[in-house]
Amino acid sequence: MSSIERVDVFVASPGRTFVTLRITTTDGVVGLGDATLNGRELAVASYLRDHVVPLLIGRDPARIEDMWQYLYKGAYWRRGPVTMTAIAAVDTALWDIKGRTAGLPVYQLLGGRSRDGVLVYSHASGTDVPSLLDDVERYLELGYKAVRAQAAVPGVGGTYGVRKGTVYEPAATDLPDEQPWDTEAYLGFAPAYLEAVRERFGFGFHLLHDVHHRLTPIEAARFGKSVEGCRLFWMEDPTPAEDQSAFRLIRQHTTTPIAVGEVMNSIWDVKDLITEQLIDYVRTTVVHAGGITHLRRIFDLAALHQVRTGSHGATDLSPVSMAAAVHLDLAVPNFGIQEHMGHPAETAEVFRTGVTFADGMLHPSEEPGLGVEYDEKAAERFPYQRRYLPVARRLDGSVHDW
């Protein structure tokens, strides 16, 4: 019987910092998992090397569910982003091994296709309304059928979500960039530029917008009401979701769809949001929500309550996570949309992925497993670089939700 013979943890920064787990079996089969936790990458790498890897050696890689329960319940300290990201890496790697051993792509092991491709959206942004409109046009010309729109608020420097240069990369500084924030200025400006997008391009594509947790529940309700005429696909993270009951107030005031969940890491974090239908899209992702095994449970719960999927897919997910997401997206019945930003050229030097983009959709590799390979030698050319997301501060200097 095959068993786990070796487990390696790699940390490299090919355009973005990634933590990659590689499991090798006694039969020579290799599986990859993503263990990246943006801004806390080394914490997960240590958790894996010091606490998880010793538990894996000699175990049966085919027992995916048993391994998940063992790592989750055996640690005593459950949940939390570091623990769940580490478990996700192991779980994803085991699914990769399962597919490679069976000679099938992972989506076939999950029940096969529920659709022909995975609808995706990407990020258009601008320093003002004209540059935003030009960027939306660029993405539509690339074939995207869904576009997220963000513009810099006049007089408020460093507005989150606005690309600097050719690549959108918010985690770009060795220490957190402290950016000013003005809620009233945002509430007055954002609806205007979203209306400008619809006025120029019409309603023939899906339009999304990320609030990024920066509003109180009643402010979020006000925003959602003000943009109902734009027919947004969703407003993302309108308010911090630690208090799930806050979304009841938003629901009372607007019909704009709500998407939440990228910072959530277990089914318990989103249970009330889903079962009370306080959101329309759950954005938990493979790497931060315990891997394919646990994310499938979240999506199954969501399906019972007519909540669709909309997984996080920014550049802090490695090509391993993106491949795993696409395989799962293809199989689940309640898929909604998948975020897709792509990666810089440096990332492609380290990861080879079979995921392809065509006609507004992503398509998984038909190779066995996830269809991703990791070049350890290439990764050595990109040593770890510490990078943090920005911190928002109100005009009075106090730290703000972001």
Q: List, by residue number, the catalytic residues.
A: 160, 212
| Angle made by CA atoms 302, 308, 314, in degrees to the nearest 5 | 110
Using a 10 angstrom Cβ sphere, with 0-12 exposed, 13-18 middle and 19 or more buried, the burial of residue 396 is exposed
CB 80 within 8 A of CB 25: no
Classify the C-alpha dihedral 200-201-207-210 as positive or negative. Answer: negative
